[in-house]
Amino acid sequence: MTTATFGRPSRSLWHFLEHQFRRYRTTWRATIVSGLVSPMLFLGSIGFGLGSQIDDTSSLGTLDYASFVGPGVLAGAAMIQGASLGLWPTLGAIKWEGTYQAALTTPLTAAELATGHILWIGFRVFVGSALYVVVLTLFGISESWLAVFAPFIAAFTGIAFGGVISAFAATQDRDNAFGLITRVVIAPLFLFSGAFFPTSQLPLVAQWVAAVLPVSHAVELCRHLITGQFDAATDGLHFAVLMAWLGLGWFLVIRSFTKRLSS
Amino acid sequence: MSSGPASAIKATGLTKRFGDFVAVAGIDLEVEPGETFSLLGPNGAGKSSTMKMVSTVSPITEGELTILGLDPSAEGREIRQRMGVVPQEDNLDQELTVRENLVIYARYFGLSWAQAKERADELLSFAQLTDRADAAVEPLSGGMKRRLTIARSLVNTPELVLLDEPTTGLDPQARHLLWERLYQLKEQGVTLLLTTHYMDEAEQLSDRLVIMDQGTIVTQGSPTALIAEHVTNEVLELRFADGPPADLDQHGWRIETLPDRSLVYADRGEDALRRLAELDVHPTGSLIRRSTLEDVFLALTGRTLVE
């Protein structure tokens, strides 16, 4: 009995992910398509459509406007997907279906459950992001082999937002506030975080807000990795901010899930 | 006693508070291995809070608790590995089929895929769900969902199974099928801890039980011992068109007056009814029945179990 317990934490976490994979088997096609369609719509309408009206993009540092918007939208879409996976699926599993309570009657702990929950969000974001990077490559927007790292940055962005948002969702009993969060918090962050124009164009206060939050850093990182503008010093800082948020999200989701599910 | 097996569950001064609210107020209980033990009481008695602490999900506020000889605060994972839990609300995974609910759950306990599938098939047969194995969970009847939840709690071949109101909301036929399955588990030597607010369920299934009210244990013992200790063998239920006569309690029996009827506690109901006729007391309806745990609860708390 005692020897069997050694090394079980990682196994429980794996079993949780295995469970999510099995659930995903019936819905993966639809979710991948919907995850891929939204950034592609922005790439098409804003990147190519609006971009066709913009002659001079020298101040943006990219060849054309689509090359500016395309990679930025990768990070922005990752944030949106991470946040929405943190809202309804969290409340669903905790409140409506109780599947997380069920999982906690196995050797799995609440901290492992929370960790698995955000890792799964990261995986979901990664899949859509990797396909989108392939699309960017097909359009000739990816100009560096470093682009292969961009889906990881997108996944980390999804985990950072997914963690913080899931921690909040786990304190709720209804989804009343969720639509508001999507419209009032997530949508503005998407529009004003440097995906469509540089954050240097924002009022100073907004620039500070953008600098503190992770999404503008993720936008820059993805853009630099994909368009070959990677710079170790600047992008190291962007990465550090993103990882700090990821750590915060992880910490908060563990605390919140533990409080909600084992009290 | 020291050489015998450790208690399946042992609680001393077990307390659970949520802020100022005391859900469980320092209870003592000991469940022996292989025993079927019930927590009986009305809603809000502290049964579910006790269950949550025993399931290792809810930390105890005060007192001591050991489960299978282990400490739930430090060894929760090891306890859960050897325990099955049937929650009050079915929380099956609607995205998975009936069989997948068992297989995927079994994986959490470290069974290989092959073992998990074999175990799932055994349990589908136990729960009489073999022909629904590949069906979705959602369209199953309440009784089927409950049986699947119970089957799921058995994937790890547990030594101890916790069942929180296992038959609430089920029709009589579904309840009897479930009871029969629980008997089978008992026969196999599995320790069962169940909560219920159905006295007939507690009487049917329990070796021993505690009656809880407002976070405390009112009394404990075997169903027959509790009835013998607190009430008479039989109860005479009387209905009166204009309410019971004022002097009904002046004839030497203990009387409980409920809104719709009066209960006369007498070892022989037939004799009591005859004596009442001699006293010129003529109820509009009468019924003689065996005393139940409901009567014990009523005698101890002055209230009925199911409000």
Residue A97: its chain B contacts at CB < 8 A?
Answer: 91, 93-94
More confident: A61 or B140: B140
Q: What is the pLDDT of residue A144?
A: 92
pLDDT band at A239 (very low <50, low <70, confident <90, very high): very high
Average pLDDT of adjacent 10-residue blocks, chain B of 307 residues: 70 95 95 95 90 95 96 95 94 96 97 96 95 96 94 96 90 89 93 90 91 93 92 92 85 86 91 90 92 88 69
Q: Is residue A1, in this structure, part of any structural domain at all?
A: no
For residue B61, count CB atoms less than 10 angstroms from its CB and return exposed for 0-12, middle for 13-18, buried for 19 or more: middle
Q: What is the pLDDT of residue B197?
A: 81
Q: Is residue A55, in this structure, part of any structural domain at all?
A: yes
| Residue ranges of E strands in chain B | 9-18, 21-31, 36-40, 62-67, 83-86, 160-164, 191-196, 208-213, 216-221, 234-239, 254-257, 262-266, 285-290
Q: Is residue A98, in this structure, part of any structural domain at all?
A: yes
Rounded average pLDDT over A162-188: 95
For the domain made up of B87-157, the CATH class stated in words is: mainly alpha
Structure tokens at B279: 């006293």
What span, in angstroms and rounded, lies between the C-alpha atoms of A142 and A148?
Answer: 10
Q: Is residue A125, in this structure, part of any structural domain at all?
A: yes
Rounded average pLDDT over A114-128: 96
Count Cα neighbours of B94 within 13 Å in the Cβ-side half-sphere. 10
What span, in angstroms and rounded, lies between the C-alpha atoms of B196 and B38?
Answer: 7
Q: Is residue A28, in this structure, part of any structural domain at all?
A: yes
Task: Calculate helix-pair angle for A232-261, A215-227, nearest 10 degrees.
Answer: 140
Contact check, Cβ <8 Å, B108/A261: no
- Inform me whether the pLDDT recorded for A49 exceeds 80: yes
Residue-range domain boundaries for chain B? 1-82+160-173+190-219, 87-157, 232-290
Contact check, Cβ <8 Å, B108/A27: no
- Inform me whether the pLDDT recorded for A46 exceeds 50: yes
Residue pLDDT, tens place only, B83-116: 999 999 999 999 999 999 999 999 999 999 999 9
Chain A's closest residue to B156, CA to CA, is: A106
- Inform me whether the pLDDT recorded for A94 exceeds 90: yes
What span, in angstroms and rounded, lies between the C-alpha atoms of A45 and A50?
Answer: 6
What span, in angstroms and rounded, lies between the C-alpha atoms of A102 and B91?
Answer: 6
Structure tokens at B24: 């469980």
DSSP B70: B
- Inform me whether the pLDDT recorded for A7 exceeds 70: no
Q: What is the pLDDT of residue A10?
A: 66
Which residues have CB under 8 Å from A158's CB, separation 6+? A78, A79, A81, A82, A85, A121, A122, A124, A125, A126
Neighbours of B168 (CB within 10 A): 16
Q: Is residue A233, in this structure, part of any structural domain at all?
A: yes
Q: If you write DSSP's letter for every residue of B161-207 in order, what string do you get?
A: EEEESTTTT--HHHHHHHHHHHHHHHHTT-EEEEEES-HHHHHHH-S
CATH: 3.40.390, 3.30.70, 3.40.120, 3.40.210. Which one for B232-290? 3.30.70
For residue B235, which phi and psi values (nearest 5 degrees)?
-130, 135
Q: Which domain holds residue A41?
A: 9-15+24-261
Q: What is the pLDDT of residue B5?
A: 57
DSSP A142: -
Nearest CB neighbour to B80, from listed A1, A105, A261: A105
Residue pLDDT, tens place only, A190-203: 999 999 999 999 99
Number of domains in chain A: 1
Contact check, Cβ <8 Å, A98/B89: yes
More confident: A167 or B248: A167
For residue A107, which phi and psi values (nearest 5 degrees)?
-60, -15
Residue B107: its chain A contacts at CB < 8 A?
Answer: 15, 18-19
Chain A interface includes B229 (CB < 8 A): no
Q: What is the pLDDT of residue A58?
A: 79
Structure tokens at A13: 């976490």
For residue B37, which phi and psi values (nearest 5 degrees)?
-125, 135
What is the architecture, at CATH level 2, of domain B1-82+160-173+190-219?
A: 3-Layer(aba) Sandwich (3.40)
Rounded average pLDDT over A112-121: 97
* Least confident span in A14-23, A52-61, A211-220, B273-282: A52-61
Neighbours of A65 (CB within 10 A): 23
Which residues have CB under 8 Å from B232's CB, separation 6+? B254, B265, B266, B267, B291
Chain A interface includes B105 (CB < 8 A): yes
What span, in angstroms and rounded, lies between the C-alpha atoms of A251 and B109?
Answer: 26
Contact check, Cβ <8 Å, A105/B96: no
Q: CA Rg, chain B, in Å?
A: 22
Residue A1: its chain B contacts at CB < 8 A?
Answer: 78
Contact check, Cβ <8 Å, A8/B110: yes
Contact check, Cβ <8 Å, A5/B81: yes
